[in-house]
Amino acid sequence: MKYVFSITLCFLLQNVFSQSELEIKMFELPDVIFTKIDTPNGYKAAYKLMIKQPLDHTNPTAGHFYQKVYYSHIDYNNPTAIITNGYNKGRNSITEVAALTKANQFNVEHRFFGESIPDSLDYQYLTFEQATADLHRIRTLFGELYNGKWISTGISKGGTTTIFYKYLYPEDVDVSIPYVAPLNYEYEEKRIYDFLDNIGSEECRNDLTDLQKDLLKNSDQILPLLKWYVKGRNLDFNYLSLGEAYEYAVLELPFSFWQYGRDCSKIPEDADLTTQVEYLLEVVGLDFFSDRDMKAYGSHYYQSATQMGYYGYETENFKGLLNHLSYDPHPHAAFVPNKMKAKWDGTLTNKAAKWIEKNGNNMLYINGALDTWSATAVPPSDKVNSKWFFMKDKHHGTARIKNMTESERSVFISALEKWLEIDLD
């Protein structure tokens, strides 16, 4: 019993000492405020960080804001993963990349989202150059604490941020893993239209189009009913009218359908109107086009309209059926805050695409073959050692390492072990 007690006491003291040692190291870092939070399973300590960041990394006098980061520590000699979220980050969670590699993790909320918002939303400072400079500063601040290799990874827009981070700071990390990440070349990405015109069977695509036509033809009957629906959900429509929002939702249907791999056999093209509307609300919903969501995703839409590119909606199949939206130009899905003027500039995207083709080594691209965003994924290149995974029958929510085939996982793990110089279970 004395022996067991001594071992237990030593373990507890060692754990307390290591956490105190880490906190001492953090006290020495400039501009880092930390608060202890619940420690994830398998980790030794976790903190919510608020890191003082310049609004403009090229001009410190422009002001600053505090960026939220969830930090989970496991060991100074393990790899370290920096998670490049594209939006807000509401809670601490360990990604599958960090779990697989037993990595320390910095889960970074994107600037101008969540709690990482300056006093004044001056959108000139919401660029990918500034956002990746935020990541670089975090990497620099904590870089000397850890001896292992570094990984960056993100999902969707966060995956796009991973790509830009690799391009702008190629020496910061040893491995980059973008999930379901678009790299759009244009403000209105035409490759989306090509994808939607060819994905799945012709019968499935025709069923979706027929359903869209039915929903538009009967909008006079449907809109009065939707007024009660939005009232019950406490939704407001000022940025878009309810009529505009409804037509956007109908046009959005194929994009959302394939993005999350819906079942073609469940498309209710010949059903009654109630069933058709319920299906539309299930797959797309009206919330996405309400004032609440416009505000929540305003920064995302601004980035889409200025640097990231986005998608529009083909209207050629619906001549005479649209009462609230234009046919030409195509309605576009980037709803910039307050309908401000936003100038598209594809310079960064196109430079990054050309650089990555020839210089983007040690990158593992994970995409779902069903996902609409796979239309604008980074195309494979034989000029680099990177690996591409277009996972069959997987979509935006299921294209993950845990769902890889045995052969895909073998290639993925082999590359990861080689580039990180570690052995994985």
First to last CA, the chain: 34
Local confidence pLDDT in tens for the 425 residues of the chain:
555 555 554 544 455 545 689 999 999 999 999 999 999 999 999 999 999 999 999 999 999 999 999 999 999 999 999 999 999 999 999 999 999 999 999 999 999 999 999 998 899 999 999 999 999 999 999 999 999 999 999 999 999 999 999 999 999 999 999 999 999 999 999 999 999 999 999 999 999 999 999 999 999 999 999 999 999 999 999 999 999 999 999 999 999 999 999 999 999 988 999 999 999 999 999 999 999 999 999 999 999 999 999 999 999 999 999 999 999 999 999 999 999 999 999 999 999 999 999 999 999 999 999 999 999 999 999 999 999 999 999 999 999 999 999 999 999 999 999 999 999 98
pLDDT of residue 13: 47
Type of residue at 57: H
The pLDDT score that the predictor gives to residue 17 is 46
- Which pLDDT does position 20 carry in this prediction? 80
Report the distance separating Cα 406 and Cα 392, nearest Å: 13
pLDDT of the residue at 146: 97
The reported pLDDT for the residue numbered 14 is 55
161-183 b/e with 16+ CB inside 10 Å = b?
Answer: bbbbbbbbbeebbbbbbbbbbbb
**DSSP secondary structure letter of residue 306:** I
Q: What is the pLDDT of residue 15?
A: 52
Alpha helices in 145-232 (DSSP H): 157-168, 190-196, 202-217, 219-232
The CATH architecture to which 31-185+347-420 belongs is 3-Layer(aba) Sandwich (3.40)
Give residue limits of the domains in the chain: 31-185+347-420, 190-339
Report how far residue 180's alpha carbon sits from residue 397's, in angstroms, rounded to the nearest whole number: 9
* Long-range contacts, 219-223 (Cβ 8 Å, 24+): 219/243, 219/246, 219/247, 219/323, 221/273, 222/246, 222/273, 222/277
Q: pTM for the full model?
A: 0.94
Helices (H), 284-404: 291-296, 298-303, 347-359
Tell me what pLDDT residue 270 has.
87
**Residue indicated by tokens 């590699």:** 101
**CA atoms of 308 and 151, how far apart (whole Å):** 23
Tokens of 166: 């690799």
